[in-house]
Amino acid sequence: MLHYCLAHLAYHFSRQLPKRSRAKLPKSSRYCGQPLLVNLTSFIIFTFIMTGFTVILTLMDPIPNEVKVAFHVYGVGSFAQGIATTAFTVPASQCANTTPELYYLSLVLSVLSVLATVFVGFLIPFWLADVFNKGMVSNHRSRAGVCQKPVANCSYLWHV
């Protein structure tokens, strides 16, 4: 209902603008040469998809393989989105003067994307080692494995 309400309000507020200026997007002093707004829109779409996966992954037990595959494909797409965000933000320093909110939001999202990539990049070798040699990294039943002590309290890091 929130999305319906927002669209409804946007419709009514847009009617307050003169007809001739509703669809114009002039190049003015508030113009950013990089596609940061388009990138932010795709970032919002990824956020909605992430919300769906969060609900599915927290409510389902066991998780079907199709959902796991879809989640990992989403992860690859999210990685590409992070690269695109960073690639668009780095050369957009002139946008800090024209559209500072958009630029700084893109900058924060770029930094968070890089940090998330580093974190997942650190975990990938452990995930792969556990796939190829089950229980080598962390075996919860026998309480053995290379990483059993460090992850005894946070076993949720290992897999979906």
Query: 11 vs 89, which has greater pLDDT?
Result: 89
Query: Would you say residue 3 lies in a domain?
Result: no
Q: Report percent pLDDT > 70 for the chain.
A: 65
Instruction: Taking residues 123-146, report their average pLDDT.
Output: 68
Q: Is pLDDT above 90 for 144?
A: no
Q: What distance in Å separates the CA atoms of residue 98 and residue 137, rounded to the nearest whole number? A: 50
Choose among 129, 128, 131, 153: nearest CA to 140. Answer: 153
Q: Which amino acid is at 147?
A: C
Range of the domain at 81: 35-123
Query: Would you say residue 147 lies in a domain?
Result: no
Express each pLDDT in 63-91 by its tens digit.
Answer: 899 998 999 999 999 999 999 999 999 99
72 alpha-carbon distance from chain centroid: 13
Which DSSP state fits 21?
A: G
Please report the pLDDT score of residue 113 as a whole number: 93
Query: Would you say residue 65 lies in a domain?
Result: yes
- The domain total for the chain is 1
Instruction: Taking residues 83-102, report their average pLDDT.
Output: 90
Burial category of 1 from C-beta neighbours within 10 Å (exposed 0-12, middle 13-18, buried 19 and up): exposed
Query: Would you say residue 18 lies in a domain?
Result: no
Query: Would you say residue 87 lies in a domain?
Result: yes
**What confidence category does residue 62 fall into, taking pLDDT thresholds of 50, 70 and 90?**
confident
Helix axes 36-59 and 100-132, enclosed angle (nearest 10): 40
Please report the pLDDT score of residue 160 as a whole number: 46
pTM of the model: 0.69
Query: Would you say residue 53 lies in a domain?
Result: yes
Q: What distance in Å separates the CA atoms of residue 52 and residue 41, rounded to the nearest whole number? A: 17
Query: Would you say residue 156 lies in a domain?
Result: no
Query: Would you say residue 96 lies in a domain?
Result: yes
